[in-house]
Amino acid sequence: MTEAVAVRYPTPTLVRTADGTAKGLLVLLLVLAVVDPDGSHLRDKAAEARAIGYPLVSFTVPAIWLLFWKDRASFPWLADLLVTLTCFTDILGNRMDLYDTVVWFDDLMHFANTGLIAAAVILLTLHRSAPLYRVVERALAVGATAAIAWEIAEFFAFISGGAEHAFAYEDTLGDLGLGVLGSVTAALVIHRLWQRGQLREAAPQLDDRHLV
């Protein structure tokens, strides 16, 4: 008889703490954005859509784990943190007005957050023995899709008379390019860390043990 048994690699306390803190602060900032969109610098920037979409995104990994992996694998704390950070950094950046006051901040977010999403999916869906071409392939598939989806979401968020209607899409191609570049960078970093024997605790791992 073959039974799948979870390999329980210890997750650093810092990662678990950061994940919980980021989720809590994200919810708080979203509540503030809905109550006071001006104070969060989200007036005409789809504050309500973010308030709905970001919790759904940030709690996707826990929901999948509870439904499908709980009895077979340890919780993927690092992947969950990476997904949560994509939402948290965006809402925090708006709260601090960085998008309007720091000229390169939007570019950084497109590069970093698309890379974080790609990294999370890589950790969740590939084994650390995967060759580089497969890791890059997965990153490109996820990153390009995420970048396109974000640009489409921005289109519907800003096109209806929003304050950024006149200039929001002048750099769309650049944003897409930065997202793809961020994804490839994430793939190269993760593969290198895997080669060095790191990130063993980052994803749910299953071990097939033969029981008589």
Residue 132: the pLDDT is 96
pLDDT of residue 167: 57
Global pTM reads 0.85
Q: What is the pLDDT of residue 8?
A: 53
Which pLDDT score, from 0 to 100, does residue 23 have?
A: 97
With H, G, I as helix, E, B as strand and everything else as coil, classify residue 123: helix
> Given this model, what pLDDT does residue 201 score?
65
For residues 87 and 43, which has the higher predicted lDDT (pLDDT)?
87
What's the rounded Cα separation, in Å, for the pair 148 and 175? 9
Secondary structure (DSSP) of the chain = -EEEEE--PPPPHHHHHHHHHHHHHHHHHHHHHHH-TTTTT-TTTTHHHHHHHHHHHHTHHHHHIIIIITTTS---HHHHHHHHHHHHHHHHHHHTTHHHH-TTHHHHHHHHHHHHHHHHHHHHHS-TT--HHHHHHHHHHHHHHHHHHHHHHHHHHHTTT-TTTTTTTTTHHHHHHHHHHHHHHHHHHHHHHHHTT--TTSS--EEEEE--
- pLDDT over 70, % of the chain: 82
In tens, the pLDDT along 168-196 reads 556 778 889 999 999 999 999 999 999 99
Model confidence band, residue 164 (pLDDT cutoffs 50, 70, 90): low
Picking from 4-18, 58-72, 76-90, 97-111, which range would have the lowest pLDDT averaged per residue? Answer: 4-18
Which residues make beta-bridge pairs with 6? 206
Per-residue pLDDT averaged across 103-123, rounded? 95
Digit-coded pLDDT (tens) for 25-36: 999 999 999 999
Task: Decide: 136 and 187 in contact? Cβ < 8 Å.
Answer: yes
Average model confidence (pLDDT) for the chain?
Answer: 85
How many Cα atoms occupy the beta-carbon half-sphere of 123 within 13 Å? 28
Higher-scoring residue by pLDDT: 110, 8: 110
